[in-house]
Chain A
C-alpha cells in the first residue's frame, strides 16, 4: 500500500510501478519493461553506456548533485584491480524518505541500475549499504536479489552473455555520517564511519581500496529508464543542466505531506500549493528547507519565482540537496528549529575533525542556553561566527552541513533571536551558572 496519494502533477518515471499489485516481485517488473535496459546495455559498449548517462544530464540524487555520467567516467576501466558498485542507501538526511520507497516498491529497478553500472566499469560485485533502521528493506531486497539469481539476471553467465555480477545487502548500524561516501566505505570495511582524505576519490580508490562507482539509490534507479528510453528523453523532462525527475519529500506544515516525483525545474509555489495542498490551517509560509536540514533555509520572500533545480537553488545560495523539502509556517519558532537541527549535527559529528566536533557541541550548548531564555546579546553574533569558522575546515561536508543552516537562520530570522533576549528564564533554570560567555 502506498504511503500517500499520488499527485496528478507528478511525472512518474522512477515511481511508475508504485501502486501496482505486488510491485516488488520480479514478474511485475518483467511485465512492465523490467530488465529491458539490461538487455540493451549488454549490446552496448561501456563507453556508449556512460555517454548515454552523460546525455541524460542525471545529477547525483544524494545531495551533492555531481553529474553521474562524469563520475562513472573517472573509473579507470583498465586498472588490474577489481571494480565495485556501491549503493548509498543510508538515507539519513533529516527531511528525506524517498530511497526507502524506491527499495520497498521497486527493488529490481535498483538491481538493474547496479548491473548497468557494472557493465559500464567492468565490476563484478555490488553492495547496497542500507541504514540499520531500514531492516525491513533488507528482507525485501534479499528476496529480490534471490529472484534475480533464479531468473539469470544475477550470478554467473548473466542471460547467457558470460557477464557475471553478484549483489549483496549490507546493514549499517545507526550513523548519519555513514551517508557520506568515504565514511560509508570505511563502514563497509567494518570500521568506524570516519571520512577519508580525498583525493583519491572513490572512483579510483573506493571499496576495499579498489575503483568504485558509489551513487545514491535514486541515481541508480534512474539508470534503467535512461538506457531503455534514451538519455535525451530523460534530459528533456528537466531543465538544461539537470535532466529528469526528482523524488521530492514534502514534510512539515503542509496539508498533503508525501513523496512526489516531480520534473527538475518544478515551481516551488506550485509544489507547495498544488502538489502539497497548501500550508496547514491556511497559514502563511515562514521558512523553507529545499533539500534536507543541511541546506541553508530560505524565507517565504526568497521562494518567490523559485524552481526546484540545482542551479536555481545555488543562485539563492542554497542547495537542492536530497529532495527533503521541509515547510515551516508563520508560527514556527526558528530558535527552536535551529537548536533541534544543531542537536542533530552535534550528535552525529564523528569527532574526526576538531572544528566540527567542537563547533557543533558548542553551538548546541549556546542554542540550548538561548532557547532556555538564558542567552545574552553577544550570543547572536557568536553563533554566526562560530558556524562560519567551521566552513570548509573539515574532511567531509558534515561541518558545513551543520554550519550552513545555522548561519542562514541567525541571519534571516535575527529578530526572533532578539525577541528571546527579553524572555524570562524558567524558574528552574534562573540560578544556573551558565553565563560563561559575556
Chain B
C-alpha cells in the first residue's frame, strides 16, 4: 500500500518514537493519521499497519473496534459531531442535535447520499465552557446557535440556506 510522502514521514517518525520492540505503540496513531488521508480504516489498511508494526491483522482489528474515532466505513467529507453531554445539554446541545438531524434527514453515524456530510452525536469534546459545541472534522465551533448551525450546514452543503 502506498501513502503520501507526508504520511510516510509521519509513520517513520512514529515508528522511531517508541522503545525498541515496542512498535505496536504506533498502531493507534498510524490508524488515525491514515484514516484522515484515506477516509476510513479499510481491510487493506489493517493489513498494512499490522505488517509494519509486526502484529497480526486480527490484533489490529481487536484494537480498532474499541476506539470511537476509528471508522470502518467512510464518513462524510464533513463529519459533523454534535455534543449533547451535560454542559452542552444545559445550553441547547440536544436541540441542536435534533435540528441537524431534521435539516439533513439523517441520523447518528449516517452519511448523506452524496457523501458531503455525516452526522454523529458525540460525548464530551472538551469545549464545556464554550457550549454548546460542535466539531466538524477536527475544527471546533463554540457557542453554536440554531442560526449558526443552519449557516454552517448550508456552507458545508455548498448550497443556499433555504435548501438545507
Instruction: Tell me the A residues contacting B by CB distance below 8 Å.
Output: 3-4, 82, 91-97, 100, 125, 127, 131-136, 168, 170-176, 187-193, 208, 249-253, 257-259, 289, 293, 324, 326-328, 332, 336-337, 340-341, 344, 347-348, 350
Q: Most chain-B CB neighbours within 10 Å: which of A97, A176, A328, A337?
A: A97
The interface residues of chain A lying within 8 Å CB-to-CB of B24 are: 189-191
> What separation, in Å, do the CA atoms of A350 and B63 have in the docked complex?
12
Assess whether A93 is in contact with B124, with CB atoms less than 8 Å apart: yes
Residue among B27, B128, B138 making CB contact with A97, cutoff 8 Å: B128
A136-B138, A326-B87 given as contacts; is B67 within 8 A of A173 (CB)?
A: yes
The interface residues of chain B lying within 8 Å CB-to-CB of A190 are: 24-28, 53, 55, 63
> What separation, in Å, do the CA atoms of A165 and B78 have in the docked complex?
39
> What separation, in Å, do the CA atoms of A436 and B87 have in the docked complex?
32
What is the chain A residue whose CB lies nearest that of B62? A192
> What separation, in Å, do the CA atoms of A371 and B11 have in the docked complex?
48
**5 A-B interface contacts by CB (under 8 A):** A94-B85, A170-B29, A253-B91, A326-B90, A336-B89
Residue among A175, A249, A257, A293 making CB contact with B68, cutoff 8 Å: A175
> What separation, in Å, do the CA atoms of A436 and B123 have in the docked complex?
29
Assess whether A251 is in contact with B66, with CB atoms less than 8 Å apart: no
The interface residues of chain A lying within 8 Å CB-to-CB of B86 are: 94-95, 252, 289, 293, 326, 337, 340-341, 344
Q: A97-B128, A134-B126, A173-B31 are in contact. List 11 more A-B contacts (CB 8 A).
A: A3-B142, A4-B129, A92-B124, A92-B126, A132-B69, A171-B29, A171-B33, A173-B32, A175-B66, A327-B90, A344-B123
Give the interface size class of chain B. Answer: 35 or more
Assess whether A94 is in contact with B129, with CB atoms less than 8 Å apart: no
A173-B32, A174-B67, A251-B87 given as contacts; is B129 within 8 A of A257 (CB)?
A: yes
Assess whether A324 is in contact with B128, with CB atoms less than 8 Å apart: yes
Question: What 1/0 flags go to B80-95 for Cβ under 8 Å of A?
Answer: 0000111101110000
- A255 to nearest B CB, angstroms? 12
Question: What 1/0 flags go to B114-133 for Cβ under 8 Å of A?
Answer: 00000000011111111100
Q: Does B155 contact A (CB under 8 A)?
A: no
Question: What 1/0 flags go to B49-88 for Cβ under 8 Å of A?
Answer: 0000101000000110011111000000000000011110
- B49 to nearest A CB, angstroms? 10
Assess whether B89 is in contact with A173, with CB atoms less than 8 Å apart: no
Shortest 7 CB-CB distances between A and B: which pairs?
A174-B69, A173-B67, A174-B68, A190-B27, A190-B24, A251-B87, A251-B128
Residue among B67, B69, B85, B129 making CB contact with A250, cutoff 8 Å: B129
Residue among A97, A189, A252, A259 making CB contact with B90, cutoff 8 Å: A252
Assess whether B89 is in contact with A337, with CB atoms less than 8 Å apart: yes
> What separation, in Å, do the CA atoms of A135 and B127 have in the docked complex?
14
- B58 to nearest A CB, angstroms? 13
The interface residues of chain B lying within 8 Å CB-to-CB of A96 are: 124, 126, 128
Assess whether B32 is in contact with A171, with CB atoms less than 8 Å apart: yes
- B98 to nearest A CB, angstroms? 14
What is the chain A residue whose CB lies nearest that of B83? A94
Q: Most chain-A CB neighbours within 10 Å: which of B25, B126, B142?
A: B126
A249-B128, A344-B124 given as contacts; is B19 within 8 A of A125 (CB)?
A: yes
The interface residues of chain B lying within 8 Å CB-to-CB of A327 are: 90
Assess whether A135 is in contact with B138, with CB atoms less than 8 Å apart: yes
The interface residues of chain B lying within 8 Å CB-to-CB of A208 are: 18-19, 22
